[in-house]
Structure 1
Amino acid sequence: MIELWSWPTPNGHKVHIALEELELPYRVVPVNIGAGEQFRPEFLAITPNHRIPAIVDLDGPGGQRVQLFESGAILIYLAEKAGKLIPADPVARLACLQWLMFQMGGVGPMFGQYGHFTNYAPEPIPYARERYGNEVKRLHRVLDKRLSEAEWLAGDEYSIADIATFPWLRNPERRGIDLADYPGVQRWFQAIAARPAVQRGVEVLADRQRQGPISDAEREVMFGKTQFTAR
């Protein structure tokens, strides 16, 4: 049984979806990041970076306990554990890892910064919104070019590269994006959204999702002094 410490964010959904696709047994431990639960000692014992998701697998390689943070590392571990969702062919595997890193280093950070300066910044900063808005569009164009040439990001196989990227492209209207402008991305997105395991994955902890505007207390925890206190 895998212990999954998570919350319903795009990075959390990556691992929720992967576990559902791989049919690996797991138990969810909710970590309410708005309430500051990511700073609790029991979570910091798993991830010194105090970010979700993280996992603990008591049945790791050779029966050893494995604990991991960083969603990309977790996806690679789970795919290799199950022997699925990562290509066996060396060249295709490299393509999978390439696009996984594209999500980790590009899509996630840039989409996240756009979301922060659009929805959470205490005052409007036009330069930041324009800069990250343009980068969001550029990344969509990169994805669209790839997905106009290949069925999936890694090529012929659905993989953890697709799973990592999909949650970040949900709710495109929040980023001023119309997926119809990116037909390759739209075709790919609709195919993933139709998968039963994906539909189950995005429902994990959905009842815990914050409704309405962020509160002052949540803002302080996630973006204020609490976030940057030395631990």
Structure 2
Amino acid sequence: MIDLHYWPTPNGHKVTLFLEEAGIDYRIVPVNIGAGEQFQPDFLKIAPNNRMPAIVDHDPVGGGEPIAIFESGAILLYLADKYGSFIGIDLRGRTETVQWLMWQIGGLGPMLGQNHHFSGYAPEKIPYAINRYVNETNRLYGVLDRRLEGRDFITGEYSIADMACYPWIVPYERQGQRLEDTPNLKRWFDAIAARPATVTAYAKGAEISENKPMTEEAKKVLFGQTAKVLG
């Protein structure tokens, strides 16, 4: 059994996509990040960066004590290796999958996250910041669109690279993008959206948290974090 400490954000959805695709038995432990539950001592023992998702695997390979893992990319790699699924089986295939996973972790996620912040959450609308991140989002969409030319998925077969990228494309309208401008990406996006595991993963997320506007109190919790918060 795997405990998934989760809230339905792009990074949270990455893990449910894998677990649903692989048919793994898991239990969702909600972590309401708007209410500050990520700062609870028990959660910090699992995820010292006070971010979800995190997992606890109660049945690790070889037995022994449960294994706790934080950071969505690390979780995807752990699960792919444990179950031998959704990652290349040879050196070249694995390397391609990992490098595109790193591309999402180091570029697509952070840049689109800043897009979300300055376009939708920042108390002051700063045109330079909005334009900076909307344009960088567009550049990254172009990178992905070119990669998908002639391929069904990022590395050919459906993999953890696709699972990592897809949830960050879901709010494309909020990011100031049109999928029609990137036809290869749109084809890929529509194919993943139609997968039964994707439908189930997002439905489970919707059961936990309704898509309501973020309150000012939640913004203070999410965007006012400093080292002192953890003291």
TM range (shorter): over 0.9
Aligned to 1:163: 163
Matched ranges for 1:4-19 at <5 A: 4-19=4-19
Please list the CA deviations of residues 169-199 of structure 1 after superposition, one character each: whole Å capped at 9, or x if unmatched.
0031111111011011011111111110111
Q: CA deviation at 1:209?
A: 2.6
Aligned to 2:34: 34
Q: CA deviation at 1:152?
A: 1.3
2:128 aligned with 1:127, yes or no? Answer: yes
Query: Is the 8 Å Cα contact of residues 220 and 226 (structure 1) preserved in structure 2?
Result: no
Please list the CA deviations of residues 24-67 of structure 1 after superposition, one character each: whole Å capped at 9, or x if unmatched.
11000000000000000110010110001000001112113211
Structure 1 unpaired stretches of 5+: none
Aligned to 1:118: 119
SS in 2 for 1:212: coil
Change in Cα spacing, 1:63 to 1:139, as seen in structure 2 (3 Å) is same
Within 2, Cα distance between the matches of 1:216 and 1:228? 20
Please list the CA deviations of residues 136-159 of structure 1 after superposition, one character each: whole Å capped at 9, or x if unmatched.
0000000000001322111x2110
Query: Is the 8 Å Cα contact of residues 22 and 79 (structure 1) preserved in structure 2?
Result: no
2:71 aligned with 1:97, yes or no? Answer: no
2:125 aligned with 1:151, yes or no? Answer: no
Give the TM-score, by structure 1 length.
Answer: 0.96
Structural RMSD (CA): 1.3
Within 1, Cα distance between the matches of 2:182 and 2:68? 38
Change in Cα spacing, 1:11 to 1:164, as seen in structure 2 (3 Å) is same
Query: Is the 8 Å Cα contact of residues 6 and 30 (structure 1) preserved in structure 2?
Result: yes
Query: Is the 8 Å Cα contact of residues 115 and 175 (structure 1) preserved in structure 2?
Result: yes
Change in Cα spacing, 1:189 to 1:216, as seen in structure 2 (3 Å) is same
Within 1, Cα distance between the matches of 2:184 and 2:21? 23
Aligned to 2:186: 186
Q: CA deviation at 1:225?
A: 4.9
Within 2, Cα distance between the matches of 1:88 and 1:218? 43
Within 2, Cα distance between the matches of 1:159 and 1:11? 16
2:215 aligned with 1:202, yes or no? Answer: no
Change in Cα spacing, 1:9 to 1:225, as seen in structure 2 (3 Å) is closer
* Structure 1 residue identity aligned to 2:28: V
Aligned to 1:88: 89
Q: Paired residues, what number?
A: 230
Query: Is the 8 Å Cα contact of residues 18 and 75 (structure 1) preserved in structure 2?
Result: yes
SS in 1 for 2:204: coil
Matched ranges for 1:56-95 at <5 A: 56-64=56-64, 65-95=66-96
Query: Is the 8 Å Cα contact of residues 10 and 167 (structure 1) preserved in structure 2?
Result: yes
Within 2, Cα distance between the matches of 1:226 and 1:35? 16
Query: Is the 8 Å Cα contact of residues 6 and 29 (structure 1) preserved in structure 2?
Result: yes
Structure 2 unpaired stretches of 5+: none
Within 1, Cα distance between the matches of 2:123 and 2:114? 14
